[in-house]
Amino acid sequence: MDHPEGVPLESEAFIKHTDQVLQKYRELDQQLRDLGLYKADMSSTGSTWPNSSSCFIGPATQGTLALSPLTLWSTTLFAAVVLGFFWHQIAFVAHDAGHIAITGNYKVDWAIGWCLGNFLGGISIGWWKKSHNVHHIITNHPEHDPDIQHLPVFAVTPLFFQNMWSSFHRKTMWFDAASRFMIRFQHYLYYPIMMVARFNLYAQSYIYLITDRDTNIHGKKELLGLTLFWVWFGYLLAQLRFNMPIFVTFLLVSHAVTFLLHLQITLSHFAMSVHEVSPNEAFPSRQLRTTMDVDCPTWMDWFHGGLQFQAVHHLFPRLPRTSFRKARPMVEQFAKETNLHYHLVHFVEGNGMVLSNFAEVARQMKIVFHKIDKIE
C-alpha cells in the first residue's frame, strides 16, 4: 500500500504516519551503522577485479594470431562475450564508486569511477552521477526522473501521451509519430533494445560533456578518459577491420552481453508506481512504492551485482552492495512496522510485470489515439 489504508492524504493521521516512517527510517539507518554495514567488504568487492581482469585478457589478445576461419569465428565470439562480461562487472564497481560507497572518500571513489567508467567503459561517470542522483531523489516521477524518460522508445505510463516537459532534459518529450509507432510494439522490443542500450550511453556521455554547464566540473579529465577508451577499444576493433562480418559480430555481441545490466536496472522500476501520492510523502515511502527487489539465490549475485536489491539500495544509497543481503531482512521488518509495502518478486515474475505493463500502455495508446484520429 502507498499509505495507511483508509487514511486520507494530508490529514493529521497521514502526517503522523509520515513522522513515524521518518523516525523508524532514522533508527534503521543508525542500526545499519552500528552493525558496521556502511563499511564495504573489500574482500568481496575486490573479487570483481581479478574476475574482470581475466575477462579482459581474451579480447585484448584475440586478434594477434593468424587463425583458421572456424577458429577465428569461435575465438571472436568468445572474446566478445568475455569483453561484454568485463563491462558488465566493472559497471557494478563504478556504480559503487558513484555512490561513494567503496572508500567513502569522494576523490578516491571519483578516480575509481573515472577509471572504470570513462577509461575502461567509455561512459562518462559525471553524466551517470548527475542522471542517477536525480533518479534517486525523485524516483519514477514522469516529469523529473530521467531513468523512465525514454521516448520515443518506451513509455511506462500513459502520462507520456501528453507531451510532457522533462525537468532533467529541459525539453518537451513529444509523443510524436515515432513514439506512437514504437510504443505500439514496446513489449516485443524491450529485450532487443536492451541489447543495444549501451550505444545510447556513449551518446549521452558526449551530449552531457558538450552541453552541460551546471554540473560538468571534470570535463577535460572525462574527455581524456573517453578518448583513451576509444584508443584501446579502437585498437581491438582494428584487428578485425579486414573482415567486416567478424568486425560487426564482435562489436554487436560484446555490447549485447551487457543487456543483463540494463535489464536489471530497468526491471526494478518499469512496472512500479509512477504517480505522485503527496508532495509531503516521506522519502522512504516513495522509495518502497516505486522500487522492487528481485529475489534470487546468492550464486546469482555475480550476474546481478547487487542491483537486485534496488529497494534496499534506494533507501540507503551510500550502503555498499556487499551489505545489501544483510540489510534486506531489516528493511522487510521496517516496512511491516511502518505499514508500507516492500515489493519482492522472483526474476521471471518481475520480467512478466514489466512486459505486462508495457503491453497495457500500448493497448491504451491504441485506444486513445484511435479516438483522436476518428475525431480529427
The reply to whether 33 and 47 lie within a common domain is no
The reply to whether 119 and 192 lie within a common domain is yes
293 forms beta bridges with 344
Q: What is the pLDDT of residue 50?
A: 42
Q: 217-226 burial, b for 16+ CB within 10 Å, e for fewer? A: ebeeebbebb
Over residues 300-314, the mean pLDDT reads 92
Residue 7 resides in a domain: no
The reply to whether 157 and 204 lie within a common domain is yes
Distance CA 110, CA 130 (A): 13
Residue-wise pLDDT tens digits, 242-254: 889 999 999 999 9
User: What is the SS3 assignment for 164?
Assistant: strand
Residue-wise pLDDT tens digits, 58-86: 554 454 445 677 788 898 999 999 999 99
- Residue 144 neighbours by CB under 8 Å, 6+ apart: 134, 138, 166, 167, 168
pLDDT at 47 over 50: no
Over residues 110-129, the mean pLDDT reads 96
Residue 144 resides in a domain: yes
Over residues 210-228, the mean pLDDT reads 91
**Helix, strand and coil percent figures for the chain, each rounded to 5:** 65, 5, 30
pLDDT at 5 over 80: no
The reply to whether 129 and 270 lie within a common domain is yes
Give the domain extent around 305.
Answer: 19-39+277-344
The reply to whether 110 and 68 lie within a common domain is yes
pLDDT at 350 over 70: yes
User: What is the SS3 assignment for 230?
Assistant: helix
User: What is the SS3 assignment for 57?
Assistant: helix
Over residues 117-143, the mean pLDDT reads 96
The reply to whether 121 and 179 lie within a common domain is yes
Query: In the structure, what pLDDT confidence band is assigned to residue 54 with cuts at 50, 70 and 90?
Result: very low
User: What is the SS3 assignment for 141?
Assistant: coil
The reply to whether 309 and 222 lie within a common domain is no
Q: What is the pLDDT of residue 9?
A: 58
Q: What is the pTM of this model?
A: 0.88
Residue-wise pLDDT tens digits, 174-186: 999 999 999 999 9
Number of domains in the chain: 2
Strand segments, DSSP code E, in the chain are 164-166, 171-173, 292-295, 343-346
- Report the percent of the chain where pLDDT is more than 90: 74
For the chain, give the mean pLDDT.
89
